[in-house]
DNA sequence: GTCAGGTCCAGTGACCATTCATAGCCCTGA
DNA sequence: TCAGGGCTATGAATGGTCACTGGACCTGAC
């Protein structure tokens, strides 16, 4: 008959994921001191230590890990109950927090945001730019409700458990060249091997884009690209093409607006593709999230037709 | 991300079972005012009404019923987590609340209480005499941890869902007569039909005991007993036999200590039996409850041997 | 009318987060 | 090797908030 405080359980649950009190405090909007005291009260209630010192931080004890896991189940149950009640009322209202990479945000989330602001008054959509590595824990912990990520041919993302995973868009990568590049003439597909001497730009090492560019040049063009510049920002990549004479392979959604200084061409031969992937918690969505997901799906269909 | 207050959810859950705010207040140890306010806050959090007026009381709305059910799941989860943590520590400590009918309390619960008080220091066992009808909701809602009930041949108790149900003792009913009763002579089994003219005493109409006595007299003795006195208290029944010359059919555990004014005889022919039934919530017990159940089982085995 | 059940309101006490200060641990640089 | 600064967690004091109590009040049933 212990009516545990779900807030305190959430603290423990977040601590299991975020490792330090400070991170938990930041995530929940408290000071570290408050977190420390909440944990202390929880330990008093439980009657056994949940954390132990580990260097300058803390580590969960066995009991702590078990309770944190249980807490996750309880919190998910509470969320499910909230969703059920919300869909009972049917009203589309509340806040939905979305995270995603740049091009997805621009072409999917922002149009959806605009549309919903017009159509649904009680709905509030919050956007955050995040790397997938940061976004996944937030999604699992509930501080994000949906995440859009990407996935390149040959470099599948790990599929984390307890998350729903749906491909919502699939598009080719195209070549971006300076308009005065010798291979830009004509306008037809460009054989990749003709770009073996060029300077390339791609995303940072370790990303799907980077790996995909290298793999494509090797497989289709038969060479290792001189991948001299690395930026995860599409605008920076474009600027390097425009001003530094580099070449790039970019997904359609990341392409710049028509620009006389740039030429965009298909790759001759095998097309490389990337997919946009929608991640949500694997639980029935409330009406607010459902509305966002529906709008998102609609938007993705229109992108595919375009 | 609504961290609902489990206390408030418990209020709702209890209300679903107990129907009136006053009853909930009494059960949880608050004033009705507090309950009313907790519900009001909960409704504000949920954003839709959970109760509606019905006469001078309240009734749960659809949303209220749904949330109450969800609350039940959450509360059970919290209890399971507590049990898991407790068994992790392995310490047998805490409070176990038991309810049961008189004879079971006297011969099973009280000896167990004595034993555990000697053997287990941190354990506290609380006993309550309750009719089964009152005890079952308490058990389901968690204000009791175990209940011992009885069951007579031919009158099975309804088996409520979500409760574990185990027969822990099985015993015959025996005849109790005044020592100077003509049929008490000898000491062997007494044919029931010889008692057709006697005045009988049994438990109140509607109980298993009452029905069982009537059914036995009809089936074995071929008569409708003159069931003049009704008391659920075994001592009162015995006193009526001793002082008013009535006769009774009593389960062994309810029999009085040896008394020269009384004769105890077997019934000739088919033996009528009653069973003691142990009811617990259908969830893994913590170490404290486990210890009580073990002691109870041991005690029941010793009763059976005796 | 009277009673039972529920709600509203003001007052009070407990609890909880913040701030500020302290203590331990790790890394760095002399 | 040691001193120091940064990082992390904890403790004490304070102030605000929240929730329960007690009482007045309302409504519906008998």
Q: How far apart are CA B140 and CA B142, in angstroms?
A: 5
Residue ranges of E strands in chain A: 51-54, 57-60, 94-100, 123-129, 146-152, 163-178, 199-202, 226-230, 247-251, 262-265, 273-281
Structural domain boundaries enclosing A11? 6-87
Residues A102 and A27 in one domain: no
Determine whether the interchain pair A4/B3 forms a contact, defined as Cβ–Cβ distance below 8 Å.
no
| Residue from B8, B9, B74, B140 to probe the interface with A (highest A Cβ count within 10 Å) | B74
% of chain B with per-residue pLDDT over 70: 100
Whether B211 maps to a domain, the answer reads yes
Using H for helix, E for strand and C for coil, what is the string for A61-129? Answer: CHHHHHHHHHHHHHHHHHHHHHHHHHHHHCCCCEEEEEEECHHHHHHHHHHHHHHHHHHCCCEEEEEEE
Overall average pLDDT of the A37-59 stretch = 92
Quick: pLDDT tens for B232-243.
Answer: 888 999 999 999
Residues B79 and B95 in one domain: no
Confidence of residue B213 (pLDDT cuts 50, 70, 90): very high
First to last CA, chain B: 59
% of chain B with per-residue pLDDT over 90: 70
CB A15 within 8 A of CB A68: yes
Instruction: Tell me the nearest-neighbour CA distance from B67 into chain A, angstroms.
Output: 7
φ, ψ (nearest 5 deg) of residue A59: -135, 145
Distance in Å from D29's C1' to B76's CA comes to: 37
Among B33, B68, B87, residue at a domain's last position: B87
pLDDT for B41: 96
pLDDT for A156: 82
Length of chain B equals 306
Whether A70 maps to a domain, the answer reads yes
Distance in Å from D7's C1' to A62's CA comes to: 26
Residues A22 and A41 in one domain: yes
Residues A116 and A28 in one domain: no
DSSP string for residues in B9-31: HHHHHHHHHH-SHHHHHHHHT--
Overall average pLDDT of the B56-74 stretch = 95
Quick: pLDDT tens for A221-257.
Answer: 889 999 999 998 888 999 999 999 999 999 999 998 8
The answer, yes or no, to whether residue B306 has pLDDT greater than 80, is: no
Instruction: Pick the most confident of A150-159, A181-190, B116-125.
Output: B116-125
Residue of B nearest to A95 (CA): B1
pLDDT for B257: 87
Determine whether the interchain pair A71/B80 forms a contact, defined as Cβ–Cβ distance below 8 Å.
no
The answer, yes or no, to whether residue B101 has pLDDT greater than 90, is: no
Chain D positions within 7 A of any protein Cβ atom are 6-12, 19-24, 27-29
φ, ψ (nearest 5 deg) of residue B161: -70, 165
pLDDT for A10: 96
Whether B164 maps to a domain, the answer reads no
Residues A80 and A112 in one domain: no
CATH number, domain with residue B118: 3.40.190.10
Residue of B nearest to A8 (CA): B3
**Biggest CA pair distance of chain B:** 77
The answer, yes or no, to whether residue A76 has pLDDT greater than 90, is: yes
The answer, yes or no, to whether residue A292 has pLDDT greater than 90, is: yes
Among A50, A69, A87, residue at a domain's last position: A87
- Locate A93 and state its tokens: 């209202």
- Helical segments of B232-286, H only: 234-244
Residues B94 and B59 in one domain: no
Residue B16 CB closer than 7 angstroms to strand C? no
Residues B145 and B288 in one domain: yes
Overall average pLDDT of the A193-215 stretch = 91
Q: Is A161 or A142 the better-scoring residue by pLDDT?
A: A142
Domains of chain A: total: 3
CATH number, domain with residue B48: 1.10.10.10
| Residue from A27, A82, A140 to probe the interface with B (highest B Cβ count within 10 Å) | A82
Residues A238 and A182 in one domain: yes
Confidence of residue A217 (pLDDT cuts 50, 70, 90): very high
pLDDT for A153: 81
Whether A297 maps to a domain, the answer reads yes
Among B87, B119, B141, residue at a domain's last position: B87
First to last CA, chain A: 59
CB A277 within 8 A of CB A148: yes
Chain C positions within 7 A of any protein Cβ atom are 4-9, 16-21, 24-26
Residues B108 and B127 in one domain: yes
The answer, yes or no, to whether residue A43 has pLDDT greater than 90, is: yes
Residue ranges of E strands in B35-118: 51-54, 57-60, 94-100
CB A280 within 8 A of CB A289: yes
Q: Enumerate residues 6+ apart whose C-beta is below 8 A from A251.
A: A103, A150, A171, A172, A173, A174, A274
Residues B186 and B253 in one domain: yes
Whether B216 maps to a domain, the answer reads yes
Q: Is A207 or A276 the better-scoring residue by pLDDT?
A: A276
The answer, yes or no, to whether residue A77 has pLDDT greater than 90, is: yes
């Amino acid at each position: 008959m212990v009516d545990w405080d779900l807030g305190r359980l959430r603290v423990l649950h977040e601590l299991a994921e975020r490792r330090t009190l400070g991170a938990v405090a930041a995530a929940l909007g408290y000071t570290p001191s408050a977190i420390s005291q909440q944990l202390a009260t929880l330990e008093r209630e439980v009657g056994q230590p949940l954390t132990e010192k580990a260097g300058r931080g803390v580590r969960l004890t066995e009991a702590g890990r078990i309770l944190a896991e249980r807490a996750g189940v309880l919190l998910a149950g509470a969320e499910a109950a909230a969703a059920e009640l919300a869909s009972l009322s049917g009203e589309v209202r509340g806040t939905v927090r979305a995270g995603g990479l740049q091009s997805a945000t621009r072409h999917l989330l922002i149009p959806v945001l605009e549309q919903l602001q017009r159509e649904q008054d009680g709905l509030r959509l919050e956007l955050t730019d995040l790397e997938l590595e940061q976004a996944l824990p937030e999604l699992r912990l509930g501080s994000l409700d949906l995440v859009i990520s990407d996935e390149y041919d040959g470099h599948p993302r790990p599929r984390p458990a307890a998350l729903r995973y749906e491909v919502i868009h699939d598009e080719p990568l195209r070549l971006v060249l300076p308009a005065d590049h010798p291979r830009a003439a004509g306008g037809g597909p460009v054989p990749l091997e003709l770009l073996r001497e060029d300077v390339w730009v791609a995303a940072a090492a370790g990303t799907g884009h980077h790996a995909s560019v290298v793999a494509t040049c090797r497989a289709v063009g038969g060479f290792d690209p001189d991948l001299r510049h690395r930026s995860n920002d599409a605008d920076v990549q474009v600027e390097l093409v425009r001003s530094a004479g580099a070449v790039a392979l970019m997904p359609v959604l990341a392409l710049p607006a028509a620009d006389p200084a740039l030429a965009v061409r298909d790759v001759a031969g095998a097309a490389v593709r990337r997919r946009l992937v929608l991640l949500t918690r694997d639980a029935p969505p409330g009406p607010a999230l459902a509305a966002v997901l529906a709008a998102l799906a609609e938007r993705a269909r229109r992108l595919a037709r375009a």
